[in-house]
Amino acid sequence: MRVFTAVLLNNLRRLSEHKTRIIMFFVLTVGAVAAAVFFNTQSDIAGHIAVVSESNMVIPHTQYLNMTALEKEPPMSELAAGKYDAVIIFDGQGGYEIQTIKNDDFKNMLYALVRDPASFQAGEIGSREKGTNIFGFLMMFVLMQGISMTFVFAEDKDKKQIRRVAASPVSFSWYLCAHSLFAYLFLLVPTMAIILVVRYVFGIDIGFSTVEFFALTAILSALGTSFALFLVSMIKTGDSANMVGSAVVVLTSVLAGSFYSFDRGNKILETVIKILPQKAFLSMAELVEQGKSTSNWYHYGLYIAILTLFFFVTAVVKVRKDYVK
């Protein structure tokens, strides 16, 4: 326990050597939370739809869908970039085709809208709730910052300081626990502080109760910290771990649905998406926000907890193997 306390206090003292990094971290945290809240509380629009028709046919606007008439079909890149959620293409003979990279529920909703716009019900949209969208936006940022905030451990490794630790009579488990807690608190505390200001000072609805938001943020921060520790222990230099980790986080978070669902009926892709922890986290957050009982979402939390423990234990084993002779 003394090792744990000593490493944690030493890490806090070493912050003075990284003032620019810390300032940038807080600035980015404020910016990410502000952007997440702003973009997900300004409108209840569930989709932006491009309508392509030779006769300039336009489906009437609904409260939840924004229709844009186009003369020609937009490139698929505009769907991937999120400019449009779907494209409805009329062939001039009464037929039509719907293209989207979102899931089947969204596509079926559009078919129902085209068939009978007058009887379309807003409840058919089935879009994610506001709070889950905020987490979808924050998720990638928190995981990326988790990699950045293990810089103290990465610095010990790069400068061979960890060899001195190995030569002394200290516990590597406590040593890594202290580094983990240091990074974990730097993810959790600033994010929650800003969310509390958003909710109680500005009075903006975040979709969850404070306790629910804290619990979900704590889970996400733990996953980000353990994954970062795992990468730094496995990859030779801290900079390389940062680059690899950032690329992995961006790719997997986008696939998992940080900003929109990526299902298109590809069975292999769907299988890959299902095993991503980010997908499990968003599914859990959505069910919590909907007020579902624990029995509906505990398996997602259990899966994330197992992965978090796996990353941490693997990091401990790898570091001990490399440095403890």
Q: Do 292 and 311 sit in the same domain of this protein? A: yes
**Sheet strands side by side (includes 47-52):** 65-70, 47-52, 86-90, 96-99
> For the chain, what's the residue count?
325
pLDDT at 63: 60
Q: Do 281 and 254 sit in the same domain of this protein? A: yes
Q: Do 37 and 65 sit in the same domain of this protein? A: no
Q: Do 261 and 187 sit in the same domain of this protein? A: yes
Q: Do 57 and 142 sit in the same domain of this protein? A: no
For 223, residues 6+ apart whose C-beta sits below 8 A from its C-beta are 143, 146, 277, 281, 304, 307, 308, 311
pLDDT at 124: 47
The one-digit pLDDT tens for each residue of the chain (325 residues) are 677 888 888 888 887 777 787 788 788 778 877 877 776 665 555 677 888 876 655 565 566 677 788 878 888 778 776 678 888 888 767 678 888 877 676 777 777 777 776 666 554 454 567 788 888 888 888 998 888 888 888 888 888 888 887 777 777 778 888 888 999 998 999 889 888 988 898 888 888 999 999 999 999 999 999 999 999 999 988 889 989 999 999 999 888 877 766 555 567 777 888 899 999 999 999 899 988 989 999 999 999 999 999 999 999 889 888 877 6
pLDDT at 77: 76
pLDDT at 45: 57
Contact between residue 49 and residue 87 where contact means Cβ atoms under 8 Å apart? yes
Per DSSP, the residues of 86-133 read EEEEE-SSS-EEEE-SS-HHHHHHHHHHHH-GGG--GGG--PPPHHHH
Residue ending a domain, among 109, 124, 139, is: 124
Q: Do 305 and 236 sit in the same domain of this protein? A: yes
Give the chain's domain count: 2
For 238, residues 6+ apart whose C-beta sits below 8 A from its C-beta are 150, 151, 154, 155, 157, 158, 232
Residue of 185, 64, 195 whose CA lies nearest to 138: 195
Residue ending a domain, among 95, 124, 153, is: 124
Q: Do 226 and 108 sit in the same domain of this protein? A: no
Residue ending a domain, among 98, 124, 150, is: 124
Q: Do 98 and 35 sit in the same domain of this protein? A: no
Domain that holds residue 98: 47-124
Q: Do 25 and 110 sit in the same domain of this protein? A: no
The pTM assigned to this predicted structure is: 0.78
pLDDT at 128: 65
d(CA 229, CA 314): 9
Helices of type H across the chain = 2-14, 19-41, 76-80, 104-115, 130-148, 151-158, 161-167, 172-196, 210-234, 238-256, 267-274, 277-289, 294-323
Q: Do 109 and 238 sit in the same domain of this protein? A: no
Q: Do 112 and 21 sit in the same domain of this protein? A: no
Q: Do 219 and 200 sit in the same domain of this protein? A: yes
